[in-house]
Amino acid sequence: MAINLAPASVTIQEVADLAKVSPKTVSRVINNEPRVRADTRARILEAIEQLNYRPNLNARGLASNRSFLIGLFCERPGDYLSEFQAGAVARCRESSLHLMVEPWDVESPLIDKQIDTLLGQLRLEGVILLPPLSDHPVVLNKLRDASIPIVRIAPRHHLGAEPSIGIDDYAAARQVTAHLVGLGHRRIGFMLGRPHHGATEQRYRGFVDEMHVHQIPVDAGLVETGNFGFGDGLVCAERMLRAAAPPTAIFASNDDMAAAVVSMARKFGLDLPGQLSVAGFDDAPIAGMIWPELTTVRQPVAAMARLAADMIIRFEPRRNGWPEPIPRHLLDHELVIRNSTARPATP
Q: Same structural domain for residues 136 and 182?
A: no
CA nearest neighbour of 174 among 220, 212, 122, 130: 212
Q: Report the pLDDT averaged over residues 64-68.
A: 65
CA nearest neighbour of 238 among 262, 219, 208, 254: 262
On whether residue 160 sits in a domain, the answer given is yes
Residue 55 has pLDDT above 80, yes or no: no
Q: Which residues contact 317 (CB under 8 A, 6 or more apart)?
A: 126, 149, 311
Q: Are 165 and 91 in contact (CB under 8 A)?
A: no
CA nearest neighbour of 127 among 142, 148, 98, 112: 148
Residue 256 has pLDDT above 60, yes or no: yes
Q: Same structural domain for residues 184 and 271?
A: yes
Q: Are 301 and 86 in contact (CB under 8 A)?
A: no
Mean pLDDT of the chain: 90
The pLDDT value recorded for residue 9 is 73
Q: Are 270 and 308 in contact (CB under 8 A)?
A: no
Residue 62 has pLDDT above 60, yes or no: no
Query: CATH no. for residue 143?
Result: 3.40.50.2300
Other beta carbons within 10 angstroms of residue 313's beta carbon come to 20
Q: Same structural domain for residues 176 and 282?
A: yes
Q: Report the amino acid identity of residue 315.
A: F
On whether residue 321 sits in a domain, the answer given is no
Q: Same structural domain for residues 141 and 233?
A: no
Other beta carbons within 10 angstroms of residue 162's beta carbon come to 23
The pLDDT value recorded for residue 149 is 95
The pLDDT value recorded for residue 107 is 87
The pLDDT value recorded for residue 289 is 95
Q: Same structural domain for residues 174 and 281?
A: yes
Greatest mean pLDDT among 45-49, 171-175, 198-202: 171-175
Q: Are 267 and 240 in contact (CB under 8 A)?
A: no
Q: Same structural domain for residues 96 and 161?
A: yes
Q: pLDDT band for position 57 (50/70/90)?
A: low
Q: Same structural domain for residues 201 and 238?
A: yes
The pLDDT value recorded for residue 52 is 83
Residue 63 has pLDDT above 50, yes or no: no
Q: Which residues contact 173 (CB under 8 A, 6 or more apart)?
A: 202, 203, 204, 205, 206, 207, 210, 251, 253, 281, 297
Q: What are phi and psi of 148, to 5 degrees?
A: -95, 125
What is the number of structural domains in the chain? 3
Cα–Cα–Cα angle for 124, 75, 198, rounded to 5 degrees: 100
Residue 310 has pLDDT above 50, yes or no: yes
Q: Same structural domain for residues 51 and 85?
A: no
Q: Same structural domain for residues 159 and 173?
A: no
Query: What is the C-alpha separation between 91 and 100, in angstroms, rounded?
Result: 13
pLDDT tens for each residue of 129-164: 999 999 999 999 999 999 999 999 999 888 888 999
Q: Report the pLDDT averaged over residues 12-30.
A: 86
Q: Which of 46-50, 138-142, 231-235, 259-263 has the lowest mean pLDDT?
A: 46-50
Q: Same structural domain for residues 189 and 307?
A: no
Structural domain for 99, as ranges: 69-167+301-315
11, 52, 74 from 15: Cα distances, Å = 7, 10, 38
Q: Are 236 and 250 in contact (CB under 8 A)?
A: no
The pLDDT value recorded for residue 197 is 87
Q: What's the half-sphere exposure (Cβ side, CA atoms, 13 Å) at 83? A: 15
Query: CATH no. for residue 18?
Result: 1.10.260.40
Q: Which of 95-99, 164-168, 179-183 has the lowest mean pLDDT?
A: 95-99
The pLDDT value recorded for residue 77 is 72
Query: What is the C-alpha separation between 222 and 251, in angstroms, rounded?
Result: 10
Q: Report the amino acid identity of residue 11.
A: T
The pLDDT value recorded for residue 5 is 39
CB-based burial, 77-101: b 16+ in 10 Å, e otherwise: ebbbbebbbebbbebbeebbbebeb
Q: What is the DSSP letter of 72?
A: E
> What is 219-278 written as a DSSP string?
-GGGEEE-TT-HHHHHHHHHHHHTSSS--SEEEESSHHHHHHHHHHHHHTT--TTTT-EE
Q: Are 270 and 249 in contact (CB under 8 A)?
A: no
140, 249, 261, 283 from 273: Cα distances, Å = 43, 9, 12, 18
On whether residue 325 sits in a domain, the answer given is no
On whether residue 106 sits in a domain, the answer given is yes
Bridge-based pairing of strands 150-153 and 126-129 is: parallel
